[in-house]
Amino acid sequence: MNKTTSAKSRRHSGTFVERTLTGLVRKTERALFAEEIARADGLLQRLDPRVKIVGLLSLVVTVTLSRNLFTILSVFALGVILAVLSKVPVRELALRIWLSALFFTGAIAVPVLFITAGEPLLRIPLIGWTITAQGLTSALYLTSRVEATATLSILLVLCTSWSSVLKGLRVLHVPVVFVVILGMTYRYIFVILETARDMFEARRSRLVGRLDGRERRHIAAGSIGVLLTKSFYLHHEVFLAMQSRGFRGEVYVLDEFAMHSRDWLALAGFAVLVGAAVWLGRQESLQTLLNLS
């Protein structure tokens, strides 16, 4: 029984390549989930993508430059409200974004608490390390900025279909060729991932027992080579399909955006918010907030 369980768990875990591939396929599924949110009938989804890109990215820049913790936390709270009004599952946001951001930023922020020189605030018993006011300030700024900017960025991505994000990028004067290449890359990631997954599943369906490392590496290298060849073939075919419909090296696109009154209103709202955040963020207010002085 133990032997069976062990074999099952080995089979399930697979090789490094298979695990990587499974991870990528899961990410693909998550991308599909994200598109479901982008099609939901929420506040941000109803706005013109250009307004969202300009508005949310302006807030991201403002938060990054702000020296006022209250302002940063307010923008973070605004992000949460926007998420709720845009039907983005807050639990999903908390697990996928806030916890991840906290974990990775924490790895930097925690040492900062102790190594930043300044006014002692709290001494940790047993180990005797001291948290300084300046260290706490830096850690709070870092963490809150990352959480706020990550929330705003993910809202932009979740509430806007990828095609609209790409078109919206043109507002920021990103070259059309670059935008089109990005779009095609995103499109064919799915096709190539599916091909790779099918290849590995086909191989697994014909395998009995466990191969040694050398054999696995040999098969993985062969599969990568085949996948590369298939990708080249696909690239050739796609180029022919483009030529067949008149492509001659220059890209022409059709913008399908139209600003409605709600978009102008939202743009004005974002302008007011950014203006307020910039004005409030000019001076440090942490000392006032923590009543440290």
Contacting residues toward another protein, per CB under 8 A = 32, 35, 161-163, 166, 183-184, 186-188, 190-191, 234, 237-238, 240-248, 252-254, 256
Biggest distance spanned by C-alpha atoms of the chain: 74
Query: Whose Cβ is closer to another protein: residue 220's or residue 242's?
Result: 242
Own/partner long-range contacts of 61-67 (Cβ < 8 Å, ≥24 apart): 62/274, 62/277, 62/278, 62/281, 63/145, 63/148, 63/149, 63/152, 63/277, 64/145, 64/149, 65/281, 66/145, 66/277, 66/278, 66/280, 66/281, 67/281, 67/282, 67/283, 67/284
Q: How far is the CB of 195 from another protein (least distance, A)?
A: 10
Q: How far is the CB of 256 from another protein (least distance, A)?
A: 7
Phi and psi angles of residue 123, each rounded to the nearest 5 degrees, phi first? -110, 125
Q: How far is the CB of 171 from another protein (least distance, A)?
A: 16
Q: How far is the CB of 250 from another protein (least distance, A)?
A: 8
Query: Whose Cβ is closer to another protein: residue 73's or residue 242's?
Result: 242
Specify whether the CB–CB gap between 200 and 223 falls below 8 A. yes
Helices (H), 127-212: 133-158, 162-169, 176-205
Nearest partner of 83 among 45, 39, 140, judged by Cα: 45
Query: Whose Cβ is closer to another protein: residue 119's or residue 237's?
Result: 237
Q: Write the DSSP assignment of 148-166 as a string of letters.
A: HHHHHHHHHHHTS-HHHHH
Beta bridge partners of 218: none
Residue whose token pair is 């369906």: 205
Query: Whose Cβ is closer to another protein: residue 125's or residue 249's?
Result: 249
Q: How far is the CB of 78 from another protein (least distance, A)?
A: 28
Cβ neighbours of residue 267 closer than 8 Å, sequence gap 6 or more: 51, 54, 55
Query: Whose Cβ is closer to another protein: residue 113's or residue 166's?
Result: 166
Joined together, the tokens standing for residue 167 give: 């078109």
Q: How far is the CB of 22 from another protein (least distance, A)?
A: 18
Q: How far is the CB of 93 from another protein (least distance, A)?
A: 23
Query: Whose Cβ is closer to another protein: residue 80's or residue 193's?
Result: 193
Query: Whose Cβ is closer to another protein: residue 77's or residue 241's?
Result: 241
